[in-house]
Amino acid sequence: MADQFELPIPIKLTNPHHVDEYYGPAEGYIDVAAACAAVPIEVRYYGLTVGIQSADGIVEYWWRKLLTNEGLIPKTTGGGDGEPSTPYTLPVASDTVLGGVKIGADSGLEIDPTTGHLKAKPTEGGAVDFTPNVTLNSLKAGTRYQISAQRAFELATTAYFTPAFEGFTFDGVGSTTREEGTAYSAGVHPFAWGTSNQANIAPGGLTIRDITANQNLATGLENDGFENISVPGFTVGLGESRRYLISGNDTNGDAFFAQIVISGARYIFYGSMGSAPTTSAQVRALAGKQLTTQGNTFTLNTGNVDRTFGFWAPPGLTLKLVTDQETNATLTSQYVAQPFSVDNAGGTPVAGTLYVMQQAIPFSSNHRHLITLG
């Protein structure tokens, strides 16, 4: 076996030192000049680091970009080309200077000396008189303002949310279509409404008006969402029969409103029956009915008990087509027409046409007759 040199115990460095001899003594070079003198230029290389004494201990310097004596700079600086950088400090904010930017005395702005925030100056003197030609947030185009400069600044920088009605009901419903002859009694009826952006609604300024009767029903209402109001009685006729309007003003003076329209129409009555009807009441008792405003097509279910089927069409409508949706057969000719009057909701007879189909026995199962009027 070859001779070996072995130490039976670990080695302890009693005087630890940087492995690069040019780094300097353990206590560091006394100053930059001493470091430059100790490290000849011919052995210097980019990134070579030395330790230099300071009041806070050893500070590392290095040759970052230049190998000259002037190129030895602290590692903590971000300078280029061997020159340490000098950060630029903006002036402290004052009443006329913000980060080195001067604010003109007549600009209408100032800098808070405590927070450094830019803000509008408090108004001095009277109001300004102006009319903007464009809308800017709460400043409205074409509106004349005689207000302070501070208030103008606030309006121009504050978004304005226009209020609106969100729902309007009479007797619990909004716009609706009722059967001709439906009567609404005179007396107190409930009106209800909802609004958005309530903070921008002028107080005590809501009005509910009967447009049809051309009269105000209530004025000066608060925006509390509900009011019982006395209204004239009326009977629903064909088409528009009553129109109610609720209106208010926003805090900018602009009006906003919502409406309810109550209209009238006639029913189509249809269904299966034990025998052909002979009275208005029997027609009105049929299982199916549909307002003419809901369309002129409907489905009559025959069931498997009755053998007579029919429908009543109000004036202005006649039968165009009947199709059995189970067999795809055309049954139009099997529905026989006859003049027949049926009372409306108010008990007034309306002359229409009754169409009846009869067969010897009931269908074994339900058949759907798709009926089209025109």
Instruction: Identify the weakest region by mean pLDDT among 6-10, 223-227, 295-299.
Output: 6-10
Among 67, 150, 144, which Cα is nearest to 108's?
A: 150
Q: How many CA atoms lie within 13 A of 159 on its CB side?
A: 3
DSSP letter, residue 3: -
Residues shown for the chain: 374
Regarding beta strands 255-265 and 176-179, do their DSSP bridges make them parallel or antiparallel, or are they unpaired?
parallel
Average pLDDT value for residue range 345-369: 97
- The answer to whether 90 and 100 are in contact (CB under 8 A) is yes
Q: Is the pLDDT of residue 370 over 60?
A: yes
The token pair that represents 89 in the structure block: 């400090």
Calpha distance 196→255 (Å, rounded): 14
Average pLDDT value for residue range 342-358: 98
Calpha distance 25→366 (Å, rounded): 110
The token pair that represents 40 in the structure block: 């000849």
What is the band of 78 on the pLDDT scale with cuts at 50, 70, 90?
A: very low
Most confident of 53-62, 79-88, 118-127: 53-62
DSSP string covering 112-125: -TTT--EEEPPP-S
Calpha distance 243→168 (Å, rounded): 12
Instruction: Identify the weakest region by mean pLDDT among 146-150, 304-308, 341-345, 367-371.
Output: 146-150
The token pair that represents 320 in the structure block: 């165009």
- pTM, two decimal places: 0.61
Calpha distance 52→72 (Å, rounded): 11
Average pLDDT value for residue range 241-252: 94
Q: Is the pLDDT of residue 132 over 50?
A: yes
**Cα dihedral across residues 17, 23, 29, 34: positive or negative:** positive
Q: What is the pLDDT of residue 246?
A: 98
Look at 272 and 57; give whichever has higher pLDDT.
272
Q: Is the pLDDT of residue 160 over 90?
A: no
Contacts of 291 (CB under 8 A, 6+ apart): 177, 179, 265, 266, 267, 268
The token pair that represents 210 in the structure block: 């009967």
Q: What is the pLDDT of residue 142?
A: 78
Residue 83: alpha-carbon gap to chain centroid: 57
Q: What is the pLDDT of residue 80?
A: 44
* Side chain identity at residue 203, one-letter code: P
Cα 90–91–94 angle (5° rounding)?
135
Cβ-count burial of 348 within 10 angstroms (0-12 exposed, 13-18 middle, 19+ buried)? exposed
